[in-house]
Amino acid sequence: MIKKCVCALLALVCALPLAGCWNYRGLDEMTIVVGIAVDKDDESGEYEISFEFVDLAKSTKDEGPKSKVIKSNGKTIFDAVRNAKKQVANKLYMGHAQLIIIGEKVALDEDIRAILDFFMRDGEYRETIHVSVSQEDSAADILDAEATDLTIVSMELVKILETDNKVTSSTAHRGLYEAYEIIKTDGTELVLPAIRLIKEGNESTCEVNGIAVFKEEKLVGYLSAEESKYFLFAYDDVEGGVITFPSSGEGEDDTTLEITNSKTSRSVVNKDGKPSVSLKVEMEVFLNEYAKPDSKFTTDEIAKLEEIAAKKTGEGISALIKKVQSEYGSDIFCFGGLVNKSDYDMWEQVKDDWESQFKQLEVQVEVKVNILNTAYLISK
């Protein structure tokens, strides 16, 4: 009996280290960080990290959570993170951090792999934490901005990023693990959402403004919100958003289509031993705004609208791909990966030379717009 008891207790004791989380850490013993901005001090060359954390003392039930920003310097990122403890009573808790904002300067000068490396390696950060690039000089400015809707800027930005491709399709959001994986993978390049400030008098709010394009590990440029939409079409990541176009085929845009469903079939064709990519976009849309109130919406007229919309979108996608090919030379569309997947032998031939191959890659774009619904408004 005693022997059995001792055995059972020993087994329990042996199993204890398996628990992983060893320490009791009360909720009141932590500073909850929600957003992190990574900058570099020009003079000293040290990292300057800003943390937006929940200010529990000021948060109330009525007004919601409030946040505060502190800045700390360090020779490395982790050094700076630890130095932040000098300013706060409780240890920083990163388990609920939502957003990493990388300053433009850091993104231009530093190897982004080195920055993401720490966040991947450290156990406390979630791997789903969003990574973005600030278009301002200092990423810390973004955290200092006022939130418009929620009370904490980082949470607001994350919400904006996560719902973007369902409503506006103006940016691409990447989690930390995705960003890290893309950097490590051949045949594709990283894009991150770009964030800028809108200043009005003394107050400034922030806005998601298209996409930051990386080549290998450095920032090379941006895509505007409009271009980002075409990027998403090419990348097959559109779930919503609108398309505007002139109903007569030229002139000012006066008609709006709301995308309800969009699918891009991406395929690779072998053209004389060289890869050529074909994109077939098929989308279902509602007609939401139309400048000709007297229209009867005959089948012909709808077909015409569909054609104009398809043409405009197709041109937009092609123009964007051209721009990226010539200006940035960075395969953000993951065409290399597509080749790799569909024709491995061909990929083996072109992969060493993919950077120049991508610049000359032929891309056929075909768009099909299907207007499902025009809404019925009585005309005279």
Partner 1 sequence: MFGLFKRKKSRSKDSPGRANHAPEDGVLSSSLAKNVQTMEEIFKDVDTLRSRYIENTHSKELRCRIFYFDGVVNCELINEHIIKPLMISEAKPSGGNVVINQIVQIDESKITDQFCDIVEAITYGNTVLFIEGQDKAVLLNTKNFSTRSVDEPDNEKVLLGPREGFTESMMQNLSLIRRRALTPDLKMKNKILGTRTKTKVCVCYMDSIVNRKALDELNSRLEKIDIDAVLDSNYISELTRDAPWSPFPTVGYTERPDVVLGKLMEGRIAVFVDGSPVVMTLPYLFIENFQSSEDYYMHYYYASIARLLRIVAYLLTISVPALYISIGAFHHEMFPLQLFISIATDRKSVPLPAAIEALVMLIVFDILRETGARMPSTIGSALSIVGALVIGQAAVDAKLVSAPMVIIIALTGITSLLVPKLNTSSMIIRVVLLLFSSMFGFFGYMVGISFFVTHILNLRSFGVPQIMLSRKLKYQNVKDSFMRAPWWQMINRPRFAADAVRQKNKGGSRD
Which residues in this chain contact partner 1 in the complex, by CB under 8 A? Answer: 1, 4-5, 8, 12, 15-16, 18-21, 23-28, 30, 32, 34, 54, 56-57, 59-61, 65, 93, 95-96, 98, 126, 155
Q: Which is nearer to partner 1, 30 or 107 (CB)?
A: 30
CB of 148 to partner 1, least distance (A): 18
CB of 149 to partner 1, least distance (A): 14
Q: Which is nearer to partner 1, 27 or 378 (CB)?
A: 27
Cβ pair 273, 257 in contact under 8 A: no
Q: Which is nearer to partner 1, 96 or 113 (CB)?
A: 96
Instruction: At 223, list the tokens.
Output: 């895509």
CB of 7 to partner 1, least distance (A): 8
d(C-alpha 64, C-alpha 58), whole Å: 9
Q: Which is nearer to partner 1, 28 or 272 (CB)?
A: 28
Q: Which is nearer to partner 1, 64 or 249 (CB)?
A: 64
d(C-alpha 354, C-alpha 331), whole Å: 9
Region of 45 please: left (phi>0), alpha (psi -120 to 50) or beta: left
Residue with the two structure tokens 């278009």: 135
d(C-alpha 30, C-alpha 251), whole Å: 58
CB of 8 to partner 1, least distance (A): 5
Q: Which is nearer to partner 1, 75 or 159 (CB)?
A: 159
CB of 74 to partner 1, least distance (A): 25
Instruction: At 300, list the tokens.
Output: 């012909």
Cβ pair 250, 242 in contact under 8 A: no
CB of 11 to partner 1, least distance (A): 10
Q: Which is nearer to partner 1, 58 or 322 (CB)?
A: 58
Collapse the DSSP code of 3 into the 3-class scheme (helix H, G, I; strand E, B; otherwise coil) and give the result. Answer: helix
CB of 50 to partner 1, least distance (A): 19
Cβ pair 363, 279 in contact under 8 A: yes
Cβ pair 154, 52 in contact under 8 A: yes
CB of 1 to partner 1, least distance (A): 6
Q: Report how many helices (DSSP H) and strands (DSSP E) the chain contains, helices first.
A: 12, 14
CB of 98 to partner 1, least distance (A): 7
d(C-alpha 158, C-alpha 35), whole Å: 10
Q: Which is nearer to partner 1, 1 or 378 (CB)?
A: 1
d(C-alpha 178, C-alpha 176), whole Å: 5
d(C-alpha 259, C-alpha 239), whole Å: 7
CB of 122 to partner 1, least distance (A): 14
Residue 56 CA, chain-centre distance (Å), reads 29
Cβ partners under 8 Å of residue 293, min gap 6: 377, 379
Q: Which is nearer to partner 1, 11 or 378 (CB)?
A: 11
Q: Which is nearer to partner 1, 20 or 293 (CB)?
A: 20
Helix (H) or strand (E) holding 235: helix 225-235
Region of 169 please: left (phi>0), alpha (psi -120 to 50) or beta: left
Rounded to a whole number of angstroms, the distance between the first and last alpha carbons of the chain is 96
